[in-house]
Structure 1
Amino acid sequence: MFPKVHLVLKLRFLVSSSNCQFPTINSAVRITATYSTICQNQVGSRRAEVMEHPRDSIELFRKWGCSENDLLKIFSRRPSLRHAQVTPLLSKLNLLSSLGLTGSDIVKIISCRPRFLCYRINNCFDERVEFLMTLFGSREMLRKALVRNPSLLLYDFHNRMKPVIALYEEFGVSGNDLIKMLISRPTLIPRTSFNEEKMEYIKKTGVSKGSKMYKYVVALIGISRLETIREKVTNLEKFGCSEEEVWSLLARSPLILTLSVDKVQRNMTFILGTMKLSPKLVLQHPFLLFCNLEAILKPRILLAGKLKEMELHPQIKGSLMLRALRMTEIRFLTAFVKCHPQNVATELLEFYEHAKRCKRLAEASKKILRTGFPF
């Protein structure tokens, strides 16, 4: 500090000498005091700057509102973030903050995409955000979509994102329908592909553009592999359904395309073999394919047999059986178990709980073959 003060005094002395005016002792003291005050203010501001600037990523995430539990989730999903450089990480978090994302949102994003903060998100950022704001209509809907699928900030904007959005709009899926699909199907953009065969499948469903199911049919066929669609249609045909009936079923309940072949096979085998129902009934009530076999179908049907054996009423049969399978657990137990005397209800409840604990045979030794995306 003092060498600089002497330099200032020397300069002031030279300037004053050129004007034939010499600085007094009082003026020199005032200059020194002024410069000292300026230096102290600068040092204080630098210290405040250092205190405000996070020292590491842990302090940065805490500043962003992350709790200790949130930090544990973040670093367990992406351990390298613990030692990440603060400056680039801070710039990325600032961009996310400008979109209304909070600390809890960042935890969800990293849980969904652990490598998200390792990518460059400032590529075409302003143009991308403007496009997404126009698409989603509000900042809150954009925030919700980004938490669900943060890769919206990473996709190739010009060569992938915009062409896929334009493609769905050409199909007639736009506005709120397109927003729903983007939020419910996060893989819509990277996995969408259409060809003549897929176009033919959409026509086979017979769904019109005005139908509520149209957006689901188009989106699910768009993100599914051709071989997977063929396999799932063929699987339903094996149980006595014609091709026309299968496509009519998919038109009314397109989410069946999200069910695995194994689940449909096991449910259909139980429905036809144990429950003795016809395939036509499954076509009329597709919820039977979505029911969990071990938790709902099997224990409730076994309980129906127990009620019949004990000659208790009400019996679970006929149209009441379909209603019973759709009931919540509490309502089902109230309607068919707790309505009986205490000792009988206890016996039925024990039987029902035992039936639910019976797991699939050789489930522990089942080999899981992962073939990638299930659709």
Structure 2
Amino acid sequence: MAAATLRSVLRRNRLLLLFETCHLRDRLFLSSSVDAAAVTVGGTMSPDPHFMVEYLVNSCGFSPSEAAKVSKPLAHLRATEKPDAVLNFMRSQGFDGAGIRKVISADPRYLCYNVETNLAPKFQFLRDLGLSESDIVDAILKNNGILLYNIHRSLVPKLEMWESLLGSRELVLKHLKKTGWFFFSSVEKTLHPNLKFLRDECGIPEERVSLVLRSHPKLISQKPESLRALVARADELGMPRQSRMFMWTLDVFQKVSKEAFEAKAELMRSFGWSESEFSSAARKAPTFLCMSLDMMRRKMEFFINIVGYTPSFIASQPTILLYGLQKRVIPRFRVLEMLNTKGLWTRRGKFVNYVQLSNTKFREKIVLPYKEKVPELLDILRAGDEQ
């Protein structure tokens, strides 16, 4: 009995000793951890896990509320060595405070990057393409994702694909500096499948695709299922796939939703267009569908009530709806009306023909021959230019 009691006491004492040893070890570990983190912010460490808020305010010029939001992905940082290096590097590359804030706001993790192995090679890659320092700043501000991509696995394939689609590196660089989504589309998942669909299933020659993409590259950057939906809408309109207007129609439908399309069809029906006239006009000049409802209404009212055209005539000549009302159509109509009232305009022709003339041709053929007798003609055109 006594022996059993002794064994029990000894076992309890061993457990107590083990507990105290573990407790002491944990306290020593905690103490050393706190001591390691208790270096002042003036050095490279901080005891405050949220010290990045103050850092972002002082180093980047963020407001406290902005800094609080931006600092969330950086809560693990205790040292400012990498953020300091990143900010100094970006300033050396021509970024001002606003530019730095824009890039960091887009992805705060850039402050954790290694300058030498991650950032510097990408800036060198852009320089090797022929971009100047200011060009590189513009390109990154528009496409900050460039800093995320691997040069050889992502940037080079994207560059080669876009250069093939657009036909020149100059156009690629132009869009890169101006377009915020340009380098985000996947070559494998988006660009290649879309090009293959247009070429192989729709029968559209690659040169025709390229022609539209040079000014509207976003068309091929959308999800493949979205592009297929646009093709279905163009088919429903009755636009032949072999037509040179087919790709332009896809671009228009990318900007004009089904609801907006129907609202514009309804407006034109209210002016007397039939369903077939609306479809025919959309096939001839699809870009007129990009106009706002208000502008479409104003143009129709002017051509019907002032010029005297019938709705059916306008439907047969829909390109007339593409010209600016205040800067081109109205001034030219006033010029011809003034010449007519003074008995100087003896030749007659459809007003649409005069609207379609270039500015230079209209001045040479219609205005300059009468500038001595009717000097107001130039004032009318100038007034239109100032609209």
| TM-score interval (norm. to shorter) | 0.5 to 0.7
Shift of 1:294: 0.8
Say whether residues 1:306 and 2:349 are aligned partners: no
Residue of structure 2 in register with 1:145 after alignment: 172
Residue 272 of structure 1, CA deviation: 0.8
The structural deviation recorded for 1:243 is 1.7
Query: Which amino acid is the alignment partner of residue 361 of structure 2?
Result: R
- 2:157 maps to a residue whose letter is E
**Alignment partner of 1:348 out of 377, 381, 384:** 377
Give the structure 2 partner of residue 45 of structure 1: none
- Of 140, 152, 157, the match for 1:130: 157
2:327 paired with 1:295? yes
Name the amino acid aligned to 1:345: V
- Of stretches 264-273 and 227-236 in structure 1, the one that deviates more from structure 2 is 227-236
TM-score by length of structure 1 reads 0.63
1:80 and 2:101 matched:
yes
Q: Within 2, Cα distance between the matches of 1:291 and 1:218?
A: 21
Question: What is the number of equivalent residue pairs in this alignment?
Answer: 287
2:143 to 111, 116, 119: 116
Partner residue in 1 for 2:266: 234
Residue 90 of structure 1 is aligned with which of 112, 120, 128? 120
- Specify the alignment match of 1:178 in structure 2: 209
Number of the residue aligned with 2:30? none
Distance 1:314 1:121 in 2: 67
Name 2:45's counterpart in structure 1. Answer: none
TM-superposed CA distance for 1:215, in Å, is 1.8
- RCO (CA 8 Å, sep 6+): is it higher in 1 or 2? 1
1:336 maps onto 2:366 in alignment: yes
Q: Write the letter of the residue equivalent to 2:101.
A: S
Any conservation in 2 of the 1:105–1:147 contact (CA below 8 Å)? no
Check 1:279–1:152 CA distance in 2 against 1; reply closer, same or farther (3 A cut).
same
Note closer, same or farther for the CA distance 1:285–1:162 as it changes in structure 2 (3 Å cut).
same
Q: CA RMSD in A?
A: 3.7
TM-score by length of 2: 0.61
CA shift at 1:172, angstroms?
3.0
In the aligned structure 1, how far is the partner of 2:165 from the partner of 2:130? Answer: 11
Q: Does residue 57 in structure 1 map to residue 90 in structure 2?
A: yes
Question: Residue 276 of structure 1: CA displacement?
Answer: 0.7
Distance 1:218 1:328, change over 3 A: closer
Contact kept in structure 2, 1:109 and 1:116, CA below 8 Å: yes
Structure 1 residue runs of 5 or longer lacking an equivalent are 1-53, 62-73, 360-375
CA pair 191-256 structure 1, distance change in 2 beyond 3 A: farther
The amino acid that maps onto 2:377 is L
Change (3 A) 1:139 1:103: farther
Letter in 2 for 1:348: L
What is the SS of the residue equivalent to 1:274? helix
Segment of structure 1 superposing worse, 199-208 or 239-248: 199-208
Contact 1:120/1:154 (8 A) holds in 2: no
* Corresponding residue to 1:255 among 276, 287, 292: 287
- Determine the C-alpha separation between the residues in 2 that align with 1:337 and 1:59: 55
Task: Give the corresponding residue for 1:202.
Answer: 234
In the TM superposition, what is the alpha-carbon distance from 1:289 to its structure 2 partner?
A: 0.7
**Is this contact kept in 2: 1:208–1:214, CA < 8 A?**
yes
Which SS does the other structure have where 2:93 is aligned?
A: helix
Is the contact made by 2:329 and 2:355 (CA closer than 8 Å) also made in structure 1? yes
Alpha-carbon contact 2:299-2:325 (below 8 Å) kept: yes
**Are the structure 2 counterparts of residues 132 and 238 from structure 1 closer, same or farther at C-alpha, using a change threshold of 3 Å?**
farther
Number of the residue aligned with 1:274:
306
AA aligned to 1:180 is L
- 1:280-319 per-residue CA deviation (whole Å, 9 max, x = no partner) reads 222332221111111111122122222222222345x432
Whether the 8 Å CA contact 1:89–1:117 is kept in 2: the answer is no
**Do the aligned partners of residues 314 and 58 (structure 1) sit closer, same or farther apart at CA in structure 2, a change above 3 Å counting?**
farther
> Secondary structure of the residue that 2:244 maps to in structure 1?
coil
Tell me the SS of whatever aligns to 1:184. coil
Aligned residue identity for 1:310: K
Kept after mapping to 2: 8 A contact 1:337/1:349: yes
Distance 1:167 1:138 in 2: 14
Name the CA shift for 1:136/1:350 in 2 (closer, same or farther; >3 Å).
closer
Change (3 A) 1:131 1:60: closer
Cα distance in structure 2, aligned partners of 1:201 and 1:145: 29
Instruction: Give, as a single letter, the amino acid of the residue that structure 1 aligns with 2:171.
Output: K
Distance, in Å, in 1 between the alignment partners of 2:333 and 2:304 is: 13
How far does the alpha carbon of each residue in 1:254-281 deviate from its partner, in whole angstroms, 9 at most, with x for none?
A: 2223322222221111111111111222
Partner in structure 2 of residue 318 of structure 1 = 349
